[in-house]
Chains A and B, each alone.
Chain A
Amino acid sequence: MTSADDVRFRPGDRVRVRLAYPVGHVRTPYYVRGKHGLVERICGRFPNPEELAYARSGLPVLPLYRVRFLQRELWPDYAGHPADVLVAEIYQHWLEAGDDLQ
Chain B
Amino acid sequence: MDQSDAGHTHGAPRPDQDDTITYYRAMEIAVRELLIDKGILTAGDVRRQVESMDARGPRGGAAMVARAWLDPSFKQRMLEDGSAAAREIGLEIGPLKLIVVENTPEVHNVIVCTLCSCYPRMLLGLPPDWYKSRNYRSRTVREPRAVLAEFGTEIPAEMRICVHDSTADMRYLVLPMRPQGTEHLTEAELIDLVTRDSMIGVAIIGC
Residues on A lying within 8 angstroms of B by beta carbon are 27-29, 31, 43-44, 46, 49, 64, 66, 71, 74-75, 78-81, 83-91
Flag whether B18 is at the interface (Cβ < 8 A). Answer: no
Q: How many A-B residue pairs have CB under 8 A?
A: 73
Q: Are B168 and A46 in contact (CB under 8 A)?
A: yes
B115 touches A89 (CB 8 A): no
| A86–B163 touching, CB < 8 Å | yes
Residue of A nearest to B157 (CB): A81
Which partner residue on chain A sits nearest B109 by CB separation?
A: A87
Q: Is the interface of B mostly helix, strand, loop or mixed?
A: loop
B115 touches which one: A29, A43, A66 (CB < 8 A)? Answer: A29
What sequence of 0s and 1s flags, for each residue 158-175 of chain B, a beta carbon within 8 Å of any chain A beta carbon? Answer: 111111111111100000
What's the least CB distance linking B164 to chain A, in Å? 5
A29-B115, A31-B141 in contact; A89/B161 too (CB < 8 A)?
A: no
Query: Is B184 an interface residue, CB under 8 A from the partner?
Result: no
**CB-contact partner of B160 in A46, A74, A83, under 8 A:** A83
Would A80 and B167 count as touching, CB distance under 8 A? no
| B164, closest chain A residue (CB) | A87
Q: For B97, B114, B141, which residue has the most chain A Cβ atoms within 10 angstroms? A: B141
- Cα distance, A84 to B142, chains bound together (Å): 11
Pick the most buried of A31, A71, A86, A91: most chain B CB atoms within 10 A of its CB: A86
B161 engages A81 (CB within 8 Å):
yes
With a cutoff of 8 Å between Cβ atoms, the chain A residues found around residue B115 in the complex are 27, 29
Known contacts: A43-B97, A89-B169, A89-B170. The answer to whether A79 contacts B164 by CB under 8 A is no
- Interchain CB contact under 8 A, B167 and A86: no
Closest CB in chain A relative to B189 CB, distance in Å: 33
**A33–B164 alpha-carbon span in the complex (Å):** 16
Residue in A closest to B162 when the chains form the complex, CB atoms: A85
Taking CB atoms, residues of chain B closer than 8 Å to A49 are 168
